[in-house]
Structure 1
Amino acid sequence: MRKVLPFFLGIFLVVVVGAYWVLNYTGSNKDLATGSPYLITVEPGMTTADIANLLHKQKLVKTPEAFRLEAKFRGLERDLQAGRYEITAGMSNSEIVEVLSKGQVQRVRFTVPEGFTVVKTAKKIEAEGLGSAEKFIEAARNYTPYPYMETSDPNVIYKAEGFIFPSTYMFDIGMNEKDMLAMMVKEFNTQMNKENIPEEAEKQKMSIRDLVNMAALVEMEAVFKEEQPRIAGVFLRRLEIYMPIQSDTTIQYILGTQKEEITIADTRIQNPYNTYQNPGLPPGPISSPGMSAIKAVLNPEKTEYLYFVAEKDGHHRFTKTYAEHLKAIEDIHGPQ
């Protein structure tokens, strides 16, 4: 035993030193260093060997065998996760295994501003190179993962309109358009529950869909958030006395553009979303309202105002009668 033990101890040391050499020298990849980042996609079901070959093909690892040995030696060969990753040429096998095993997927920041529509959001996604505007729009047409989004109104263009929460998101590179939409709508639901909005709406006998519908109008009309409760009060009072809402923002939604001045001819457009021609709320929300606009509808400023017109600085002048309204328009914009 005394003679055999040193022999096996020697063999063990040779193996350890050999493994150390393989991992630290053949796994360094310094010869491949260019400093450039490369995007790679690890598909679900790919084995360590598949990943090693992919990295080798992209000239990110010198030898696939060394990469596989690294993952096996560290007990992580079954922990390499699917996803889209950014790998910089020259990273060692150890560093790459660390990234893949922790699922450090490459992500990109995307912001949905308050008041954005489905179409504007889709165009922003495409402009930033994250996906297809057409596919996002198509996904939003009938997407209703929560019961309060459902509607049987055939005039609703996009059922997801209004339920895309304005926020900043971190998308995985390569995420498809429907998954982007799902993340945004899920955030809407999360924030609504966080702020106890469904309970408040129920107390006021208002459906979530009608609440968001009204909030979208308030969001689009108010340049300054402090005016949102007063504008909400005007719209709600009009509904109470069966007076058309007459919001220019619904005309702009129909036209698909932010027109500086709405003409008389514009207000006569025959369209279900035209709140000059049709009483009550439009068929559906016309944009994604922020939480402040939603809260403004639940907590409106109660006044006798029925009209308002925009000042040149974006604030509004509120009036009680149509005669006062016409006078305010003349004061601000001159004789009509």
Structure 2
Amino acid sequence: MKIRLPLLLLIVALAMTVTAAFLAGRWYLSQPIKPEATTPLLLDFKGGATARSVTNQVTVHFQSGHSAVSYRLSQIFADINHLQAGLYEIQGQQSWFDIWKMLNQGREKTFSVTLVEGLTLQQWLAQLSEQPYLIDKTSELNESELRQKLGIEEASAEGVLLPETYSYRAYTTDISILKQAYISMQNAVQHAWEERSDRCPVSSPYELLILASIIEKETGLADERPLVASVFANRLATGMRLQSDPTTIYGIDNFDGNLTRAHLREKTAYNTYRINGLPPTPIAMPGKASIEAAANPVRSPYYYFVADKSGGHVFSETLKEHQQAVRRYQLNQE
């Protein structure tokens, strides 16, 4: 049977129209939503939500395109039936294909929190309570309950969590982050303990953490940590008291920033001017560098150090030299 020319032309025209429509639809979905947009959309896609709600939120936020058109074309050309719940960050530079692929793969927005060395557990908890999209579960717990939740066997949660930057997804709990920090610290301190030198002055990994926390509070300079560690190692080896201000301060309730002679005379579990050896727990969260310094103090003749008001310290071998350094750097007496 011969096909008449007009009918053939009609078929060709229809095929070209369908092809053009197909290409136009795919082109539309492959274009950036609004490339000049600078404010992303945080799309909180919950279980039970629909693809239509996504197209509505995106077009309203970026004020671009038509929601119904975007939805219909997405039905035809994209997979919109296997979207995963989560919080997503959508940029104007993304296309509809990019958006559906992101939701299909569950590539949620990640947040991060940097838990800084030298801070205390309470300071960390306060910081975590202010993090966006992080569920607060710790404020309802006392210290004993918190240790139980984290699986902490040590006497205190202080000092047993590793300072680090931790990533999380929306609606993660602060307990989850602290569990990561505890496991990371266990690994870090075990490694340091196994690699410790014969100059390490403590007898257990937990004591290593206690000493590391004191070093962490005494100096923020990387090249000073092994020297500070050597001073404490020398003192512990000869039975001298550590006489560390940060430990004394940690044992003062509601410390107002002014360390007095009365504080130094008061006997508390943390006043290393009055007690022998280490305090019973760490006094802050030590970083890896301080842990390594505690495990491997350098060999030095120093037994004293005093802040030089430039961020560092002056180290002395004898009490006489130390007293001279105190007069010069603390009392401004030459």
* TM superposition score category, shorter chain reference: 0.7 to 0.9
- Count of matched residue positions in the alignment of Structure 1 and Structure 2: 319
| CA offsets 1:255-302 (integer angstroms, 9 cap, x no match) | 478976522122234542222233222222122222221111111123
Q: Match for 1:83 among 71, 86, 94?
A: 86
Q: 1:28 to 1:233 in 2, by over 3 A?
A: closer
Contact 2:197/2:296, CA 8 A, preserved across alignment: no
Q: Match for 1:311 among 291, 308, 313?
A: 308
Q: Which residue does 2:63 correspond to in 1?
A: none
Structure of larger gyration radius: 2
* Alpha-carbon shift at residue 221 of structure 1 (Å): 0.6
Q: 1:310 to 1:181 in 2, by over 3 A?
A: same
Q: Which residue does 1:176 correspond to in 2?
A: 173
Q: 1:137 to 1:332 in 2, by over 3 A?
A: farther
Provide the C-alpha distance between the structure 1 equivalents of 2:228 and 2:174, rounded to a whole number of angstroms: 34
Q: 1:20 to 1:110 in 2, by over 3 A?
A: same
Q: 1:293 to 1:144 in 2, by over 3 A?
A: farther
| CA offsets 1:157-194 (integer angstroms, 9 cap, x no match) | xx1x223323333332443211222333344345556x
Q: 1:90 to 1:64 in 2, by over 3 A?
A: farther
- Say which is worse superposed, 298-307 or 224-233, in terms of deviation: 298-307
Kindly, what percent of the aligned residue pairs are identical? 27
| CA offsets 1:291-336 (integer angstroms, 9 cap, x no match) | 2211111111233433222112232233344444333322322389
Q: Which amino acid letter does the alignment assign opposite residue 100 of structure 1?
A: L
Q: 1:146 to 1:51 in 2, by over 3 A?
A: same
Provide the C-alpha distance between the structure 2 equivalents of 1:267 and 1:37, rounded to a whole number of angstroms: 54
3-state SS of the aligned residue for 2:277? coil
- State whether structure 2 residue 287 is matched by structure 1 residue 284: no
Q: Match for 1:119 among 114, 118, 122?
A: 122
* Alpha-carbon shift at residue 215 of structure 1 (Å): 0.6
Provide the C-alpha distance between the structure 2 equivalents of 1:29 and 1:317, rounded to a whole number of angstroms: 60
Q: 1:30 to 1:329 in 2, by over 3 A?
A: closer
Provide the C-alpha distance between the structure 2 equivalents of 1:60 and 1:206, rounded to a whole number of angstroms: 64
* Alpha-carbon shift at residue 216 of structure 1 (Å): 0.9
Q: 1:269 to 1:293 in 2, by over 3 A?
A: same
- State whether structure 2 residue 61 is matched by structure 1 residue 58: no
Q: Which amino acid letter does the alignment assign opposite residue 311 of structure 1?
A: D
Q: Which amino acid letter does the alignment assign opposite residue 58 of structure 1?
A: Q
- State whether structure 2 residue 109 is matched by structure 1 residue 106: yes
Provide the C-alpha distance between the structure 2 equivalents of 1:232 and 1:144, rounded to a whole number of angstroms: 32
Q: Match for 2:261 among 261, 264, 267?
A: 264
Q: Which residue does 1:229 correspond to in 2?
A: 226
- For structure 2, the 5+ residue unaligned runs are 61-65
User: Within 5 A, what are the aligned runs for 1:158-237?
Assistant: 159=157, 161-189=158-186, 191-192=188-189, 196-201=191-196, 206-237=203-234
Provide the C-alpha distance between the structure 2 equivalents of 1:89 and 1:328, rounded to a whole number of angstroms: 61
Q: 1:210 to 1:19 in 2, by over 3 A?
A: farther
The two structures have a TM-score, normalised by structure 1, of 0.72
User: Within 5 A, what are the aligned runs for 1:290-329?
Assistant: 290-329=287-326
* Alpha-carbon shift at residue 97 of structure 1 (Å): 0.9
* Alpha-carbon shift at residue 58 of structure 1 (Å): 3.2
Contact 1:60/1:90, CA 8 A, preserved across alignment: no
What is the RMSD of the two structures over their aligned residues, measured on CA atoms? Answer: 4.4
Contact 1:119/1:133, CA 8 A, preserved across alignment: no
Q: Which residue does 1:42 correspond to in 2?
A: 45
Q: 1:243 to 1:234 in 2, by over 3 A?
A: same
Provide the C-alpha distance between the structure 1 equivalents of 2:214 and 2:72, rounded to a whole number of angstroms: 58
Provide the C-alpha distance between the structure 1 equivalents of 2:288 and 2:220, rounded to a whole number of angstroms: 15
Q: Which amino acid letter does the alignment assign opposite residue 223 of structure 2?
A: E
Provide the C-alpha distance between the structure 1 equivalents of 2:179 and 2:97, rounded to a whole number of angstroms: 35
